[in-house]
Amino acid sequence: MSQSDGFVSQFADLFDQYDVIAAFWVNIQLTLWAALFAGILGTVLALFRISPIPSLRWAGTAYVNVFRNTPLTIIMVFLTLGVWAQLHVTLSDDFNANFFRFAVVGLSIYTASFVCESIRSGVNTVPIGQAEAARSIGLSFLPAARLIILPQAFRGAIAPLGSTLIALTKNSTIASVVGVATETSSLLKNMIEFNSSLMVAIFLTFALGYVILVIPVGLATTALSRRLAVKR
């Protein structure tokens, strides 16, 4: 058997012993759910940040500064050891689903701070005359933001939002901290523990897996940002 055949057989052995695809699917689900909730919360926070009401601007700024500068691992540990273990808050009667949902919550509240700043950067690409025109025809802040500012801001924020999504995809591996035992980092630990002789194949399996997930997102958001950029 040649060296290349032996290397291929190592990959085959790993995929025979472990459900690698299922592990990546768990991380994809974590990413999608967290992206949805972080997108909603981040948009609300962005509205707070650009609001004419000082208390809302303060609240949005405080949220972003706290959660953007807090390590995600700390947030995850707080949710499990604090919210679940000490306060006895559960999100599902099913044990595995409970920790999956806690992971989504942790990822969402952390990522929302980055989504907020990405959208706020998009607001800066909207010509100032657009907001002035909205005020001149009698639109208040919320209608002007919903109809004029945010649609253009999202176009200008595609690239930073894409970077945030890529970071979220990679951050989903921290879900193992809250007890999600079926995602990629947990499976990687298990593989290394019981198949240390296949170290290179194990590393390449997960490295290539995330390359396959991340690169299309980067290419798509770059293309969209060029195509939909707000013209000054």
Q: Set out the domains of the chain in order of their start, with CATH numbers.
A: 3-228 (1.10.3720.10)
Residue pLDDT, tens place only, 121-134? 888 877 777 777 77
Q: Is 132 left (phi over 0), alpha (psi -120 to 50) or beta?
A: alpha
Query: The tokens of 118 are what?
Result: 């990405």
* CA-based torsion, 136, 138, 142, 147: positive or negative: negative
Mean pLDDT of 67-86: 91
In 10 A of CB 212, how many CB atoms? 10
CA separation for the pair 167, 46 (Å, rounded) = 19
Band of pLDDT at residue 92, cut at 50, 70 and 90: confident
> What is the gyration radius of the CA atoms in the chain, in angstroms?
21
pLDDT at site 1: 46
Q: Is the pLDDT of residue 103 over 80?
A: yes
pLDDT at site 41: 96
Band of pLDDT at residue 4, cut at 50, 70 and 90: low
Q: Which of 227, 102, 61 is nearest to 158 (CA)?
A: 227
Cα–chain center distance at 74? 16
Query: The tokens of 41 are what?
Result: 């919360």
Q: Assess contact for 133 and 59: CB atoms under 8 A.
A: no
Q: Assess contact for 123 and 47: CB atoms under 8 A.
A: no
* Residue linked to tokens 């909205």: 134
Query: The tokens of 84 are what?
Result: 């679940």
pLDDT at site 196: 74
Query: The tokens of 47 are what?
Result: 């509205």
Give 216's Cβ-side CA count (13 Å radius): 5
Q: Is the pLDDT of residue 11 over 80?
A: no
Return the H-helix or E-strand segment holding 225. Answer: helix 199-228
